[in-house]
Amino acid sequence: MTYFEEIHRQTGIKHRHGADWQGIDPEFAARLRSQNRFQSGLDIARHTAKVMRADMETYDKDPAQYTQSLGCWHGFIGQQKMISIKKHFGSTNGRYLYLSGWMVAALRSEFGPLPDQSMHEKTSVPALIEELYTFLRQADARELGGLFRDLDKARKAGDEAAAAKAQQAIDNHKSHVVPIIADIDAGFGNAEATYLLAKKMIEAGACALQIENQVSDEKQCGHQDGKVTVPHEDFLQKIRAIRYAFLELGVPEGIIVARTDSLGAGLTKQIAFSREPGDLGDQYNRFLDCEVVEGVGEKGDVLMNRDGLLVRPKRLPSNLFQFRPGTGEDRCVLDCITALQNGADLLWIETEKPHIEQIAGMVDRIREVVPNAKLVYNNSPSFNWTLNFRQQVYDAWEAEGRDLSMFERDQLMSQHYDDSDLAKEADEKIRTFQRDAAKRAGIFHHLITLPTYHTAALSTDNLAKRYFGEEGMLGYVKQVQREEIRQGIACVKHQNMAGSDIGDDHKEAFAGEAALKAGGENNTMNQFAA
């Protein structure tokens, strides 16, 4: 519906109420409707799920059309990210938000900073989803408010061309509301707990939920040690629970991202139930590290029949069972195939380093069974990207027989090598990593889980060093405000960003000439008008 079609609709509503609504302006009502396109989190989830599905279909046709996101831990951070993307690229197409459970634990828990072990309040995750979309919707309202003021200014000046241009911009406005891939960890409990939390996250607006195959009460960050996986059927119960949550809430296009931590997990909490040889339980149990038992075993033994032999799975003092070394990749592939065959839409393989061929080797095997398998991949800050890629180039050059006498492989992080050809080639591989991995390794979506955690720390350190040092106020003005002005950062007008102009528009509509508006001549924000 166009802007003027909405005005016409609101005019009809006013006329039906006659003189009782004489103080209501249909055009302002139309503006409010335009500024609040999404009436609920479910409206957002349904819209963004369709956006993401369309992006997945586009990627299947052309892997160059991969998508990206950055993890955001606050609504303002997510809002500024999307405003920046629109400013620099004109469109939010293919750009999402990622909600990291790690950052929720580290930054949003009432307990204070926590490790990524699902100890934070489960309600903090849907709360952050709702917060992110509140800020994104406010970005829409702010931007449209500016376009409405442009329209009013053009009308007042009698400039029909400018008025037509403003109206066209209003009708073609692109929302800041984009898909969020939200981390539900390992489900915070059993399948019922997963279902209940999934509903809260979807109701808050999430169209894509990422769940991992670790045990929920022993969950660890994917880049730390001590990870414990669950049998396939346990994980599939949670995938089904999430799908039912999407269906119940009327979001059938909702997306499930099935994450496997098997590559780095050497432990399981339980032996899988098996009905017959070769079923999923049996396949899972065959990865267990076992020793053949002579006789009937010893007191307290857990024993299994494997191919007619009595075997004892290796059990740790923690009562966890150990997988055979070197089985991680095979377990990963089976995890992925099984998840896709049981309702998951996308895969997440947590690796220990960013190596395209390692990822592609597993994806090739998965695609032998599920040809359109696609990945979400964590371009993790836990990787030392500089060292990893310099070592990859070093190893490639060594295989080619090139002279490496000037390099020490374990010291390649050193600034001493920054201007070398090896470092330059490594940086180019980092630059093209997402493009190359999307083409070779089936990665549909690239994300960085914790970037804004690190940027907040880095920028605050730089400001503190300058402001509390010799530079004083110049440390803020030179490094922050002057750059905001020159780079056109919208929040240099922080009152406007916080909604003062939106509030003035409302005051004028509600109170007319009696409105006490904030944006007058004496507003110091006017210093930034140029």
Active site residues: 221
| Separation between Cα atoms, residue 375 and residue 82, nearest integer Å | 23
362 with 333: CB under 8 angstroms?
A: yes
Q: How far is CA 289 from CA 24, 298, 304, 316, 327, in A?
A: 75, 18, 12, 11, 10
| Separation between Cα atoms, residue 434 and residue 67, nearest integer Å | 9
Q: How far is CA 505 from CA 136, 508, 526, in A?
A: 19, 5, 17
Q: How far is CA 516 from CA 96, 499, 503, in A?
A: 39, 15, 10
3-class SS of residue 138: helix
Instruction: Read off the amino acid at residue 122.
Output: K
| Separation between Cα atoms, residue 137 and residue 180, nearest integer Å | 14
| Separation between Cα atoms, residue 299 and residue 432, nearest integer Å | 58
| Separation between Cα atoms, residue 35 and residue 509, nearest integer Å | 15
3-class SS of residue 180: strand
10 Å Cβ neighbour count for 394?
20
206 with 129: CB under 8 angstroms?
A: yes
